Amino acid sequence: MEIKIQCPAKINLTLKVTGKRPDGFHNIESIMQAISLFDYLTITAEPAEKFTINLSGTSDEIPYDEKNIVYKATKLFIEKTKINPCRINIYIEKNIPVAAGLAGGSTNAAGTLFGLNKLFSEPLNKQGLHELCASLGSDLNFCLEGGRQMTTGRGEILESLPFEEFYVSLIKPVNLGISAREAYTKFSVKEKIGQEKFVNDLEWAILDDYPELQTIKTLYPESVMSGSGSTYYVIGKEFAPAEGFWIKNNLTSIPYGVKVV
């Protein structure tokens, strides 16, 4: 059995951090939008005497073992659905930059759950898939649905918003990745000294620490950081080529999330 899944990136059109949670995460209010930058998963499954999960792919920046969220999603699906033992192979074609605020890992994990569910004749309904998504991370629920959503809680509570089509361009320092943990930790520290007005609260928290981000903001004052960075976007415009920066111009907003291709 084989299936191929298209996994879109997301941008945060707004991101407000509204408080610290007892579980250590932060509550947010964020409008997320899926865009036409895609990773692709090729998932195959064949009967075996015991379960094995084998990951491979095009990127040398991600692990292909149990540390990968795709591996964790596969293991969670197996445990939840009690499917028969099999060998599961997942090939990850990586086009979304890593640690970039574009939900690259989250969309792969949501795509894995969605793809496995299709491959094994849908043992889980949509609610069941969303429950697994919420247990794995904050952005997976959005990636499963896609389109435009107001997200609250950790990001796992969704409210669908009317879709608007637009062009969007991305820019990211080539050698700079920022983890969500770093961004939220810095926000917690700076929160105590008062906050400037930014569309994305996390941009305000980390901008002073990275000259590469300051360069983007100086050249393109209207640009906005997505998620915890280090990607910035502009709507309806393009970024000029610049050494040391990864650029994708003229992507579009899309009204869907992970899907079979």
Whole-number Å distance between alpha carbons of 178 and 164: 29
Whether 10 is catalytic: yes
Which residue in the list 10, 172, 186, 248 is annotated as catalytic? 10
Q: Give the count of alpha carbons within 13 A of 129, CB side only.
A: 22
**Left, alpha or beta for 110 (phi > 0: left; psi -120 to 50: alpha)?**
alpha
Closest CA to 209 of 236, 235, 228, 233: 228
DSSP string, 149-174: EEEETTTTEEEE------EEEEEEET
Which residue in the list 39, 139, 172, 248 is annotated as catalytic? 139
């930790």: which residue's tokens? 185
Residue type, 44: T
* Residue 40, token pair as written in the block: 């692709």
Whole-number Å distance between alpha carbons of 241 and 103: 24
Q: Give the count of alpha carbons within 13 A of 86, CB side only.
A: 22
Whether 139 is catalytic: yes
Q: Do β-strands 259-260 and 232-235 pair in parallel, antiparallel, or remain unpaired? A: unpaired
Whole-number Å distance between alpha carbons of 87 and 64: 15
Which residues are annotated as catalytic?
A: 10, 139
